[in-house]
Amino acid sequence: MIFLMLTILAITIGLFAWGKFTPDIVALISMISLYLTGILDATETLSGFSNPTVIMIAALFIIGEGIAQTGWTAMAGKKFVEWAGKSVPKLLVIVTLGAGILSGFVSNTGTVATLMPLTISSAWSIGTLPSKMLMPVAFGSNTGGLLTLTGTPPNIIASNALVDAGFNGFSFFEFGLIGLPLLIIALLYFRYIGYRLLPKNKTNNKPVNIETTLHKWIEAYKIDNDYYRLRIRSLSPLINTKLEDWHIEKNFNVSIIRLKRRHPNLLKGIHSYEEFPTHDTELRYHDIITVKGDTEGINKLMIKFRLGLLPLEPITDELKNNLINQEVGMTEVIVNPNSMLVGKHYKIGDYFNRYGIQLLAASRNNKPLEEKEITVKAGDAFLLRGTWEDIDNLKKQHENLVIIGSPEGMAKNVDKLNLKSYIALGALLLMIVFMVFKIVPGAIAALISAGIILLAGCVPITKAYKGISWTSVVMIAAMIPMGIALQKTGTAQVIANGLVSYLGAIHPIALLAGVFLLTTTFSQVINNSATAVLMAPIAMLAASTLNLSPEPFMIVVAISASTAFLTPIGTTTNAMVMTAGGYKFMNYLKVGAPLLLIFLIISLMLVPIIWPF
């Protein structure tokens, strides 16, 4: 039975390393094989899908998506770039440290996904290459996951292994006792050694961020001269009337784009918005309305209704700050010949309730259309404004519209905070409090926080589910039975005995080194969560055999499972930066090997002191 178990284990690891199939498929094949060979029964085979670890990790993806969607990660990332100025070493330290800190609370993948475009953009802007910055971001996020219990799945797996064995699990910030020193070591390494080892790869990946996208739209649609902000003054006849009472668009050829409630009786600094004013929208004293129209029409409107003209920011900032936020955005679309829109008549500035979209501008043959009403032709380009959700749904409603760029990526780079941003942050902090003080189990705490984020609408449910890495969730759930099988067949005991016989007899630190090296070897070719699931029972049995505390061995399993520095396939984050940085397989080995060796030495020095044998 042990030989059969080792065969399945070897094939599983081989399939992971081969990369022909996705990790979740490999894990499912392994799980089914354990059942078909009679090693596990049906209950044991499916036990991973009800495991609290799997549920907690899925909830953490939702929480991370909520933090990203509400602007926190984008804001933090841009602050890092601002602090760096024009200093390459300072930027290197900031992005590595930023990736480490963020990944302590947000998924490693989410951290790299957020910081990667900002890092690429800032690298180009200060005169260096993305290849000099991206690998530190990936390695920094992997290391930063060791700052908290929920920073990376191996931490949770190691802690739960202790609980399942009857010991106390690790507290929320306990991992930081070793994670913080390792993160500092990583910073110093990249600042003084790693940077010199990183390649100078010239890549053609200058990113298009919000500012550059808006500049492009301003140029293509000539929208820099016809936007104004007007304030309703105390003597204006508009006060306490509805828009439909005045036919402003018809009489003045002016479109009302947005309305900001700013009545002086409201609490200072608290405003409400009508993002898409309709005919039924009621106007009040001190409201600020954003309008689009020619100068003549605007002047007539101001005189007729006694409106005050407010100064505009530079048009790029005006569009970004007043027309784009966490809920509402802009996108560019092109009309295909087969679109049902061809031949129809639309007015610039109109809001279409059916689609939840506002038509801001149009262009034909690369020239802006200046007329107020247009007849749609194939190839026309539109600049649209709507909620990010409606923009996302637009493609489903009109299959013959081509959406240019990535509205979803643009939405995540909006760094303006709102009420939902603070709700998402509060939900994250609430989960941390629950876990620090052990008020409820970790999985329940994560579910409560994820539920708050969903109920508050911090992230739409559809995007929340898209934000979950189902490949990782299914893979972890399907690999948990492997850990059960290793123990049930005695295979874990055999491997543990081997470690004990050859290393344990020398010294517990030698055994600790063996666990580290075996775990990190697995982590270079298979997912770190799968590695932790495989190694946790082996390390636990090795410690038990010598009557040693399992805590240092579980900590080392978590650390070494997150040290996939030698290959681009060890973690998703390594793979994410590979193309963007133009890295080769040997680049990871050259840069990662010294760092891995340093981590091994530091872990063997500090872990036995912090968690005695």
Position of tokens 């809920």?
Answer: 327
Alpha-carbon 414 to chain mean position: 13
Name the nearest CA neighbour of 96 among 191, 178, 199, 201: 191
Tokens of 190: 């990249």
H or E element, residue 402: strand 401-404
Give the C-alpha separation, 387 to 393, whole Å: 10
Q: Classify domain 211-321 by CATH architecture.
A: 2-Layer Sandwich (3.30)
In 190-339, alpha helices (H): 195-197, 210-221, 248-252, 295-305, 315-322
564 contacts: CB under 8 Å, gap ≥ 6: 142, 520, 523, 524, 528, 570, 571, 574
Name the nearest CA neighbour of 157 among 241, 245, 51: 51
Give the C-alpha separation, 361 to 371, whole Å: 10
CATH 3.30.70.1450 fits 328-408, yes or no: yes
Tokens of 226: 């016809």
444 contacts: CB under 8 Å, gap ≥ 6: 434
In this prediction, residue 209 carries a pLDDT of 62
132 contacts: CB under 8 Å, gap ≥ 6: 88, 92, 123, 195, 198, 200
3-state helix, strand, coil in the chain (%, to 5): 60, 10, 30
Ranges of the chain whose pLDDT falls below 70:
77, 110, 113-114, 117, 204-209, 224-225, 262-271, 315, 406, 408-409, 411-415, 525, 569-570
Q: How far is CA 289 from CA 282, 301, 385, in A?
A: 12, 12, 16
Give the C-alpha separation, 478 to 488, whole Å: 16
Alpha-carbon 581 to chain mean position: 19
Give the C-alpha separation, 609 to 613, whole Å: 9
Could you give the maximum distance between any two Cα atoms of the chain, in Å?
Answer: 93
In this prediction, residue 192 carries a pLDDT of 93
Give the C-alpha separation, 449 to 430, whole Å: 7
Report residue 350: phi and psi, to 5°.
-70, 150
Position of tokens 């295909």?
Answer: 336
In this prediction, residue 525 carries a pLDDT of 66
579 contacts: CB under 8 Å, gap ≥ 6: none
Alpha-carbon 302 to chain mean position: 45
Tokens of 583: 């890295």
In this prediction, residue 411 carries a pLDDT of 67
In 442-527, alpha helices (H): 442-455, 461-467, 470-488, 491-499, 508-523
Helix axes 551-561, 508-523, angle to 10 degrees: 30
Rg (the chain; Cα; Å): 28
Three-state secondary structure call for residue 146: helix
At 317-372, the pLDDT tens digits run 777 777 787 778 888 899 988 888 889 888 887 877 777 888 888 999 888 888 87
Give the C-alpha separation, 135 to 194, whole Å: 10
- CA distance between the termini of the chain: 33
- The region that residue 438 occupies, defined by phi over 0 for left and psi between -120 and 50 for alpha, beta otherwise, is left
Name the nearest CA neighbour of 224 among 123, 161, 314: 314
Give the C-alpha separation, 478 to 481, whole Å: 6
Give the C-alpha separation, 139 to 578, whole Å: 12
Q: Cβ(91)–Cβ(84) under 8 Å?
A: yes
* DSSP type of residue 192: I
Pairing of strands 345-347, 328-335: unpaired
Do the domains 211-321 and 328-408 sit in the same CATH topology, yes or no?
Answer: yes
Q: Cβ(509)–Cβ(515) under 8 Å?
A: no
Give the C-alpha separation, 30 to 19, whole Å: 15
Amino acid at 1: M
Name the nearest CA neighbour of 383 among 318, 339, 346, 331: 331
The full set of domain ranges for the chain reads 2-47+470-610, 57-205+429-467, 211-321, 328-408
In this prediction, residue 553 carries a pLDDT of 94
Q: Cβ(349)–Cβ(249) under 8 Å?
A: yes
Provide the whole-model pTM: 0.68
